[in-house]
Structure 1
Amino acid sequence: MTPNAASSSAASSGPSRRSFLASTAVATAAVAGGMPLLAACGGSDSGSRDGTTSGKAADKMLPAYVASTVATPDLPSKNGSAAGYTGKVDLAALKTSVPKKLGTGAPIKIMSPFWGSPPKGDCAYYTALDAAAGTKITWQNQDGNTYGEKLGAVLASSSIPDMVVVPSWELVGKIANAVTAKFMDLSPYLAGDKVKKYPNLAAIPSDAWRMGIFGGALRGIPMPAATANWIAPLYRKDIFDKKGYTVPKSADEFLSWARDATSAKAKVWACDGNLTWSAWSFFGVRGSGPGGWDMGSDGKVTYRIEQPEYLEALEWVRKVFDAGLVHPDDKARTGDAGQRFTSGQILVWNTNLADWYGKASEQAQSNPSLKIDAMDLFGADGGNPKLYASSPATIWSLIRKGASKATIENALAAADFSAAPYGTKERMLVDYGVEGTHYTVKNGVPVKNDLGNSEVLNAWVMLAAPAAYYAHPDLPEIARKQVEWQQRMGAFMKKTSTFGMNIVEPTRYANLSSQFEQLEIDYVRGNRKLSDVQQAISTWKSSGGDKLRDWYKELIDKNGSGN
């Protein structure tokens, strides 16, 4: 079975949220960012949908937490990590997490992002899941790469599917407000002990459920994520060992190693062009969006671009580019960095932790000598890193307002089935389909056949998920290392004042920070000057940043700090 929550943080949302999902949603999803909304904050924004809901008001809406006891992980969650399972799959020992079929067969329509070619609606996979869950789902799968466009159009129309999957990175502009206007409050069905009808939903951590509060009501069924999750500098351990390289433990050591390892003549470069994403962690820079705001011990609220470390990180990455230590195609932002990594053209690939397993599995037969590991994140000065917790959830499924009771119950039944934990018949069915039809088990390892690879993709997994975990029966040691990496790094993790809050900023500030990502890309590549970045920061302040700061201070003062 596969990992369900290799999600990236708002602080480190990753080189490409969409490219990340393209490679991992089929494994059971995940992702980045953290935006969303809620109850009025007061002051000049009273009566609006801006702000957040927290504290006792939020607690009243949350489902009771009842931990699953179906399967005990070999590596329990620690320091905000995912849990880890390192054993083989014993089909005879799989347990049942949904003893009673909760669906009644009432038809429901579900819209979800999809990466790849969607299977036919009557395919064997969908048919088997409907039969097991008691549902009758018509999937309206949409291209994940352009999902925001379709989502905006659908939410602006009068015809909304019964259930819609909404990723956090699409919660911008009118879409954010539409979530409150178009989707129902699930508290009457899930708050408190009511959730116990759906045992897998009850086992979703409360922090993840809290992120499902939109517009002052519990609307989103969450896909939980590990909070100790950042972009990881994956490196070619086999080449490091062969060359006798020492893994860098400071910014200076990295630069020195990169100079030694790079040889344009031999077509080998130190790293890919997404080094900036690791640099945020090396230098202790907070993430973008609401997660980028924090209140210091002096009561002053600042945004990430105001941290001195922000410019320090960019200047350091610029040095790496200027020294010619980044692959030319990465500098030009062309081609596939993952392929350059496995071919040995780059030795460090800054990417989502899920790609560790993805590439190792892909290369297991054709390149068995390849060995991948992840560098521990270091403080730029060689000390301990200062890391910021990721969002506990960043993807939700929501049920449209006005849905019938039968529709609601069947949508919740589907979500409960999808949230089945590792070690259950339901999880195996969701992740692998039907034995003999979609996969076979060889030496305790489930292996999909061609039909499985074409049908068992990222649809059901988007509805909900259990608490974050890693499990790779074919490469169990990688699951162990992924969890242990998160546990080590999680020891240095802190939460910002906005942690765990589902926040929507006033619409007038929606595009205030939108230029910075491209500016960062251009600056480190030598296409913009440092003065351009400094001027952008100054303009940000005068164009609304200072007023937005006041808004955040009022929000934190009113709701309390997330840390």
Structure 2
Amino acid sequence: MTLNAASSGPSRRSFLASTAVATAAVAGGMPLLTACGGSDSGKREGATSGKAADKLIPTYVPSTVAKPDIPSKNGSSAGYTGKVDLAALATSVPKKLGTGAPLEIMSPLWGTPPKPGCAYYKALDAAAGTKVTWQNQDGNTYGQKLGAILASSSIPDMVVVPDWELVGKIGNAVTAKFMDLGPYLQGDKVKKYPNLAAIPSDSWRMGIFGGSLRGIPMPTAPASFVMPYYRKDIFDKKGYSVPKSADEFLSWAKDATSAKAKVWACGDMSWVAGSIFGAFPGWNIGDDGKLRYGIEQPEYLEGLEWSRKLFDAGVVHPDDKARSGDAGQRFTAGQILVYVSDASAWYMKTAEQAKANPDFQIEAMDIFGADGGNPTLYASSPANIWSMIREGASKETVENALAAADFAAAPYGTKERMLVDYGVEGTHYTVKGGVPVKNDQGNSEVINAWTMLAAPAPYFAHPDFPDVARKQAEWQQRMGAFMKKTSTYGMKVIEPARYANLASQHEQLQIDYVRGNKKLSDVQAAISTWKSSGGDKLRDWYKELLDKNGSGN
């Protein structure tokens, strides 16, 4: 179960979803204690925020290349709903910043890696002035590879580090093995790289590890919440009303489920249960002034209990209960009428079904409060994926890595963004009705590699389905109106290593409980064990941290 899970931009779940390899793991989900601290001496643990962080991050110079049709509001992504004049794309990198020196980059990749030296890689290198050798690793097992690499003496020049892999000793290694980028990016120095300068400051703050700016961020919109999608075409056909409370949802689900007809109301809803019941992720100081961890709040258990009611009522598809197969495919097949995913699914499912099922309509329900009132939602982290440069890299290597990141962060409406996202016209895509459409070579080569190095300020843009971009942005705007920030918002907290794996069993326990395989008393006992085994001491540590740094909200 996620506690008000945010889709965290290009999270592990969104990358998996984009390659139709959905799994149960979600970045920004159940807040396992990602104990990523260094030694207990405190040299590498803690956080840097406020004025201290402001001194370390780049000067913010927003891009003026393309004005969005739907500006960001309430923490939403911006939205572009008009067609871009492909013949009049702007240039965001007027001269090559790379020198063509060799550069090795390790990154997670979901799907089949493009062949070395493919047309896409050659085109990007030629445009950016780089010469990248990609060490693409299976995203599903990336943490194992990342841990092994960081424990070795041979680290690639640049490494992509997702937040969800910062467990055990990896967080400690990050502060030891990657360099301080301040001498290249701090303050006005970033202006050499205008696309990096256009990344929002909150996202840069999340790149501070061990008191130094080490991570180049992929920004995330604060209002990037997990979305409960429903089959609007079937709802309209059946005359269903969209539920407005937890009880209404359960009642509707019982009516909509027909095992005989092989139709179930929903998939596993525990990913959005925390949002419905108003649970917060991580650590937060409540209205009563007390600091609590997510699993200690009543709303956490209430969300779990509601999720279990859905399983007990038989309204969840059996394969979701067994955690097998792909819920997204069950959704498009009409076997489930509601499923939970991130914002990317809105476009992907629409595009996927456009020809196969013209009647298919996907919409996202507004997240409702459990009692039918307004929800209480908590902001997503401003960034949760970074590219980092190894300690000891030469100045030329660093500048070539930054040149690659600056190119990758090109904003919408530019030649650079078009090349990163679609490749070369005629080779990777053709233009039909003013809209770029990838061919088979584009689909096999233009996949997440360059996009992992950095990204522009969050936005939605789908030239082939502009209405989807509008709906995505407007949904985030509506939900963002009910958004709060936790006490640690905007801080990259490095916890002491002695608390590693303190809550490592909670996620599996949640999975078992909602499926009826564990009792509520088992969950409560686990919470008590967490407290006595170090949770209360970790609370004291966080109190000192917040006293020193101030609250993120």
Instruction: Please report the TM-score for the alignment, with normalisation by the length of structure 1.
Output: 0.94
Partner of residue 73, structure 1: 68
Partner of residue 478, structure 1: 468
Q: How far apart, in 2, do the equivalents of 1:73 and 1:93 lie?
A: 16
SS at match of 2:356: coil
Which residue of 305, 313, 316 maps to 2:306?
A: 316
Shift of residue 320, structure 1, vs aligned partner:
1.0
**1:269 and 1:345 in contact (8 A); partners too:** yes
C-alpha spacing 1:192/1:500, structure 2 compared with 1 (3 Å): same
Percent of aligned pairs with the same amino acid: 77
Q: How far apart, in 2, do the equivalents of 1:57 and 1:339 lie?
A: 47
**2:37 and 2:494 in contact (8 A); partners too:** no
After superposition, what is the alpha-carbon deviation per residue over 1:494-547, rounded to whole angstroms, capped at 9, x for unaligned?
000000000121112121111111111111111011111111111111111111
Q: How far apart, in 2, do the equivalents of 1:9 and 1:315 lie?
A: 13
Which residue of 103, 107, 128 maps to 2:98?
A: 103
C-alpha spacing 1:25/1:213, structure 2 compared with 1 (3 Å): farther
Partner of residue 4, structure 1: none
Query: Is 2:268 the counterpart of 1:307?
Result: no
After superposition, what is the alpha-carbon deviation per residue over 1:367-407, rounded to whole angstroms, capped at 9, x for unaligned?
11000000000110011100000000000000111111111
C-alpha spacing 1:38/1:55, structure 2 compared with 1 (3 Å): farther
SS at match of 1:470: strand
Partner of residue 558, structure 1: 548
**1:165 and 1:395 in contact (8 A); partners too:** yes
Query: Is 2:266 the counterpart of 1:271?
Result: yes
**1:25 and 1:458 in contact (8 A); partners too:** no
Q: How far apart, in 2, do the equivalents of 1:347 and 1:23 lie?
A: 18
Q: How far apart, in 1, do the equivalents of 2:527 and 2:145 lie?
A: 33
SS at match of 2:120: helix
**2:35 and 2:167 in contact (8 A); partners too:** no
C-alpha spacing 1:255/1:80, structure 2 compared with 1 (3 Å): same
Shift of residue 24, structure 1, vs aligned partner:
3.5
Q: How far apart, in 1, do the equivalents of 2:394 and 2:43 lie?
A: 28
After superposition, what is the alpha-carbon deviation per residue over 1:46-74, rounded to whole angstroms, capped at 9, x for unaligned?
53422111122211111000000001111
SS at match of 2:105: strand
**1:12 and 1:277 in contact (8 A); partners too:** no
Instruction: Please report the TM-score for the alignment, with normalisation by the length of structure 2.
Output: 0.95
**1:113 and 1:147 in contact (8 A); partners too:** yes
SS at match of 1:441: strand
Shift of residue 317, structure 1, vs aligned partner:
1.2
Partner of residue 396, structure 1: 386
C-alpha spacing 1:86/1:13, structure 2 compared with 1 (3 Å): closer
Partner of residue 3, structure 1: none
Partner of residue 469, structure 1: 459
Q: How far apart, in 2, do the equivalents of 1:9 and 1:195 lie?
A: 36
Q: How far apart, in 1, do the equivalents of 2:111 and 2:140 lie?
A: 10
RMSD after superposition = 2.0
Runs of 4+ in 1 over 6 A off after TM superposition: 34-40
- Return the letter of the residue paired with 1:22: L
Partner of residue 381, structure 1: 371
SS at match of 1:155: helix
Residue ranges of structure 1 left out of the alignment (5+ in a row): 1-7
Q: How far apart, in 2, do the equivalents of 1:196 and 1:112 lie?
A: 26
Query: Is 2:47 the counterpart of 1:47?
Result: no
Query: Is 2:333 the counterpart of 1:343?
Result: yes
Which residue of 6, 16, 23 maps to 1:22?
A: 16
Residue ranges of structure 2 left out of the alignment (5+ in a row): 21-25
After superposition, what is the alpha-carbon deviation per residue over 1:338-395, rounded to whole angstroms, capped at 9, x for unaligned?
1110010100011112111111111111111000000000110011100000000000
Which residue of 436, 439, 453 maps to 1:449?
A: 439
Partner of residue 212, structure 2: 217
SS at match of 1:235: strand
Which residue of 246, 255, 258 maps to 2:253?
A: 258
Q: How far apart, in 1, do the equivalents of 2:366 and 2:163 lie?
A: 28
**1:438 and 1:451 in contact (8 A); partners too:** yes
Shift of residue 13, structure 1, vs aligned partner:
5.7
SS at match of 2:355: coil
After superposition, what is the alpha-carbon deviation per residue over 1:164-199, rounded to whole angstroms, capped at 9, x for unaligned?
000000111111011111111001010100000000
SS at match of 1:153: helix
